[in-house]
Chains A and B, each alone.
Chain A
Amino acid sequence: MREKKKTKVGFYSLTSCSGDILEITNMEEDLLKLFEIVDVVDLNVAMASTGVRPEIAFVEGAITQPEEARFLRKLRKEVKYLVAMGSCACTGGVIARGPKQRRGWLRDVYPESWEEFRSGFPRPLRDVIQVDLEIPGCPIERRYFLHCIAYLLKGVLPEVPNYPVCMECKMKGNECLLRYRGMPCLGPITRAGCGARQPSRGRPCDGCFGPYADANLDSLVEIFRGLGLSEREIKNRLDLFWERRR
Chain B
Amino acid sequence: MREALIARVEGHGRIEVKVKKGKLQSIKLDILTPPRLFEKLIVGRHFSEVPTIVSRICSICSASHRVVSVMALEDALGIKVPEEVELMRRLLLHGGVLESHALHLFLLALPDYYRKASFVELSKDAPELVTLGFRLKGLGNRIQETVGGRAIHQITPVVGGMSAFPPAGELESIAGEAEALMERTYLTLKDVPSLELTPLAQVENWVSLSGREYEYTGGDILINGRERLRVEDFSRRFHESSLPPSYVKHTLLDNEKTFMVGALARVLNNRSKLKGRAGSFCRELGLTRQKSTFMNNLAQAVELLFCLERVSWIVEKLLKNREWSEEGIVVDFTPRAGRGVAAIEAPRGLLLHRYSLDDRGYVLDGDIVTPTALNLSEMERTLRDMAGHLLREGVRELTPSLEMLVRAFDPCISCSVHLLEV
Distance to closest chain B CB from A165 (angstroms):
13
Query: Complex Cα distance A169/B151, Å?
Result: 20
> B7 and A46: CB pair below 8 A?
yes
Bound Cα distance A98, B40 (Å): 9
| Binary interface encoding of chain A residues 171-194 relative to chain B, with 1 for a CB under 8 A from any of its CBs, else 0 | 000000000000000000000000
Residues of B within 8 A of A94 (CB): 41, 52-53, 56
For residue A95, CB closer than 8 A to chain B, the reply is yes
- Judged by a CB distance under 8 angstroms, whether B242 is at the interface is yes
The stretch that binds B, out of A1-9, A26-34, A154-162, A219-227, is A26-34
Cross-chain contact of B60 among A22, A35, A102, A197 (Cβ < 8 A):
A22
Contact of A203 among B5, B33, B36, B155 (CB under 8 A): B155
- Scan B403-420; emit 1 where CB is below 8 A from any A CB, else 0: 000000000001000000
- Chain A positions 220-246 with a Cβ under 8 Å from a chain B Cβ: 233, 236, 240
Q: Given the complex of chains A and B, what is the CA–CA distance between A197 and B149 in angstroms?
A: 7
Known contacts A113-B247, A202-B163, A47 near B120 by CB under 8 Å: yes
| Chain A 36-57 near chain B by CB (<8 Å), digits 1 or 0 | 0000000011111100000000
Cβ distance A28 to chain B, nearest Cβ, rounded Å: 4
Query: Inside 8 A of A101's CB, which chain B residues have their CB?
Result: 40
B234 proximal to A (CB < 8 A): no
Q: Is B107 engaged at the interface, CB distance under 8 Å to the other chain?
A: yes
**Interface size of A as a range:** 35 or more
Residues of A within 8 A of B163 (CB): 201-203
Please give, as numbers and ranges, the residues of chain A lying within 8 Å of B9 by CB-CB distance: 45
Could you tell me the distance between the alpha carbons of A214 and B309 in the complex, rounded to whole angstroms? Answer: 50
Contact of B46 among A20, A203, A233 (CB under 8 A): A233
The interface-forming segment of A104-112, A127-135, A144-152 is: A104-112
Per-position contact with B for A9-30: 1 when CB-CB < 8 Å, else 0?
Answer: 0000101011110110110110
Pair A19/B328 contact, Cβ less than 8 Å: no
Q: B251 on the interface (CB 8 Å rule)?
A: no
Asked whether A19 and B56 contact (CB < 8 A) given A47-B117, A95-B41, A202-B163, the answer is yes
Residues of B near A106 (CB, < 8 A) are 35, 37
| CB contact between B123 and one of A32, A109, A197, A233 (< 8 Å): that residue | A32
Contact of B151 among A26, A47, A122, A203 (CB under 8 A): A26
Give CA–CA (A93, B45) in the complex, Å. Answer: 16
Nearest CB in chain B: distance from A5 CB, A: 19
Q: Report the minimum CB–CB distance from A125 to chain B (whole Å).
A: 15
The answer to whether B152 and A22 touch across the interface, beta carbons within 8 angstroms, is yes
Complex contact B10–A18 (CB within 8 A): yes
Contact of A139 among B40, B52, B141, B152 (CB under 8 A): B152
CB pair B39 A28 closer than 8 Å: no
Given contacts A28-B137, A49-B5, A197-B149, contact A236 B49 (CB under 8 A): yes
A98 to B189 CA separation, bound complex (whole angstroms): 48
Q: Does residue B211 face the partner (Cβ distance < 8 Å to A)?
A: no
Q: How far is the CA of A117 from the CA of B248 in the complex (A)?
A: 13
Whether B37 lies near A139 (C-beta < 8 A) is no
CB distance from B24 to the nearest CB of A (A): 24
A19 to chain B minimum Cβ distance, whole angstroms, is: 3
Cross-chain contact of A138 among B11, B33, B56, B141 (Cβ < 8 A): B56
Q: Report the Cα distance A29→B118, complex, angstroms.
A: 15
A97 interface residue, CB < 8 Å from B? yes
Q: B153 on the interface (CB 8 Å rule)?
A: yes
In the docked arrangement, what's the CA distance between A203 and B119, Å? Answer: 38
Is the CB of B101 closer than 8 A to any CB of chain A? no
Q: Tell me whether B155 and A201 are in contact (CB under 8 A).
A: yes
Q: Which residues of A contact B249 (CB under 8 A)?
A: 110
Partner of B7, one of A48, A97, A139: A48
| B59 and A17 contact, CB distance less than 8 A | yes
Cβ contact of B40, chosen from A20, A93, A109, A206, cutoff 8 A: A109
Supply 17 A–B pairs (Cβ within 8 Å), ascending by A. Answer: A19-B62, A22-B152, A25-B103, A28-B137, A32-B120, A35-B120, A45-B414, A94-B56, A95-B36, A110-B249, A117-B35, A119-B34, A138-B56, A139-B150, A202-B164, A240-B52, A240-B53
List 13 other contacts, CB 8 Å, given A22-B152, A94-B41, A109-B40.
Answer: A18-B58, A23-B152, A44-B5, A93-B56, A95-B56, A98-B40, A106-B35, A117-B35, A139-B152, A139-B153, A197-B155, A240-B52, A240-B53
Q: State the B residues within 8 Å of A (CB).
A: 5-12, 33-41, 45-46, 49, 52-53, 56-60, 62, 103, 107-108, 117-120, 123, 130-131, 134-135, 137-138, 141, 149-153, 155-156, 158, 163-164, 242, 247, 249, 327-328, 414
Give me the 9 closest cross-chain CB pairs, A-B, nearest first: A19-B59, A202-B163, A47-B118, A201-B164, A105-B40, A48-B7, A28-B134, A28-B138, A17-B59
